[in-house]
Amino acid sequence: MTRSLVIAPQWIGDAVMTEPLLRRLEAHGERLTVGALPWVAPVYRAMAQVAEVIEFPFAHGGLQWRARQRLARQIDGQFDTAYICPNSLKSALLPFLARIPKRVGYLGEARVGLLTHRLKNPPKGQRVPMVAFYSALSGDREVARDRPQLQLDADEIETTLRQQNLCRGGYHVLAPGAEYGPAKRWPTRHFADLARQLRLPVVLLGSGKEVDLCAAIAQGVASQGAPSPVIDLAGKTTLAQALCVLAATKSIVSNDSGLMHVAAGFGVPQVAIFGSSSPLHTPPLNDQATVLWLKTDPSYQPPLDCAPCFQRACPLGHTRCLNDITPAMVLQRMQPDLA
């Protein structure tokens, strides 16, 4: 059996989108170990084909040369193949230093000598779907129809639900964050307006960086009153706990974010709101997902010729792509029995 090390991306959504790649590699007879940063590692523990997860002792920025050398010495001789998902130079250093014989990845950042099997990046301006981008590392030709699949132990889910006083299928999740920037975030006032119209309790999920966003939504709901409570869990759960909450939700409304992809991996009903980014590039691959993107709405005038701009903040200053998506539009797209 081939012993393979997969170097994971550093973003939660990207991590989810590598699952079809891992499924393909397992089907080839490979035993998979994933090397991931600590804030991404729980996603890989929700993938059935992963035999082991190594949490990297690295942080954002810098080569951290000595740390990579130490880890390379520890894993030297343990792997036959490495698949490097990120395009960065530093992500390809560990497999090279660990003398892994076969090292597969895309060309980028002057790392030609670090890879033994090199794939060409798509031409600039041609953003291919990210699932297909990662799945191509497997060497298989047909990779376009892959869909990420996540699964958790039922007891783990129930334990988390008890800790948070939640009931499976008895709440909606709103995830207002998007790490990339405000041009991907539906306004908090819209989230609050939507929450006030839902019959079931609403759970707000987000990282520590999104505490203020979620607090603003909770305050907006409280100021107007709502038929059901709002439970603000932003910054109060681990990622592993957040995954459990998502796996058991009645539905989720989110931006184009990591939690959007996690929800898609669990196959829960969802409405995904897109602004500056494109669902052609990073869609929620889920039969129960509905995408809201004004770019493709023929009734929306004037047309959004500026989208997708892929900018962190709206370069034109109006963010029409998100401001003009109303709570009523989202509510309409939620399954009737969910609202």
124-181 pLDDT, tens digit each: 777 788 999 999 999 987 766 789 999 999 999 999 999 999 999 999 999 999 988 8
Give a yes or no: residue 338 inside a domain: no
Does residue 159 share a domain with residue 104? no
Pair 232, 284 in one domain: yes
70 belongs to a structural domain: yes
The answer on 306 and 259 residing in a single domain is: yes
Sign of CA dihedral 238, 279, 22, 95: negative
Q: Is residue 134 part of a domain?
A: yes
- Please, which residues have CB within 8 angstroms of residue 66's CB and are 6 or more apart in sequence? none
By residue range, what is the domain housing residue 306?
154-333
Considering the domain boundaries, does residue 286 fall inside one? yes
pLDDT score recorded for residue 141: 78
Same domain, 192 and 123: no
Whether 146 is covered by a domain: the verdict is: no
Say if residue 29 is in the same domain as residue 174.
no
pLDDT at 176: 97
Answer yes or no: is pLDDT of 223 > 90.
Answer: no
Q: Provide the CATH number for the domain around residue 259.
A: 3.40.50.2000
> Among residues 91, 111, 138, which one ends one of the domains?
138
Residue 143 resides in a domain: no
| 190 plus 107 within the same structural domain | no
Q: Which of 138, 162, 193 is the last residue of a domain?
A: 138
Residue 246 pLDDT more than 70?
yes
Question: Cα(first)–Cα(last) distance of the chain, in Å?
Answer: 49
Q: Which of 77, 106, 138 is the last residue of a domain?
A: 138
| Domain shared by 215 and 269, yes or no | yes
pLDDT at 261 over 70: yes
Domain identity same for 175 and 284:
yes
How large is the average pLDDT for residues 42-61? 93
Q: Look at residue 52 and tell me if it is in a domain.
A: yes
Q: Which structure tokens are listed for 15?
A: 């991590």
**Same structural domain, 53 and 119:** yes
Tally of domains within the chain: 2
- Is 100 found in the same domain as 125? yes
Q: Taking residues 99-106, report their average pLDDT.
A: 98
Question: For every residue of the chain, which 3-state class applies, written as one string?
Answer: CEEEEEECCCCHHHHHHCHHHHHHHHHCCEEEEEEECCCCHHHHCCCCCEEEEEECCCCCCCCCHHHHHHHHHHHCCCCCEEEECCCCHHHHHHHHHCCCCEEEEECCCCCHHHCCEEECCCCCCCCCCHHHHHHHHHCCCCCCCCCCCCCCCHHHHHHHHHHCCCCCCCCEEEECCCCCCHHHCCCHHHHHHHHHCCCCCEEECCCHHHHHHHHHHHHHHHHHCCCCCEEECCCCCCHHHHHHHHHCCCEEEEECCHHHHHHHHHCCCEEEECCCCCCCCCCCCCCCEEEECHHHCCCCCCCCCCCCCCCCCCCCCCCHHHHCCCHHHHHHHCCCCCC
Please report the pLDDT score of residue 312 as a whole number.
Answer: 95
Does the pLDDT of residue 244 top 90, yes or no?
yes
Same domain, residue pair 172 and 47: no
Average pLDDT of the residues of the chain:
94
Between 329 and 123, where is the model more confident?
329
Tell whether 90 and 179 lie within a shared domain. no
For residue 143, what pLDDT is reported? 66
Cβ burial, residue 229 (10 Å; 0-12/13-18/19+): middle
**233 is a domain residue:** yes
> How far is the CA of 22 from the CAs of 19, 63, 262, in angstroms?
5, 26, 16
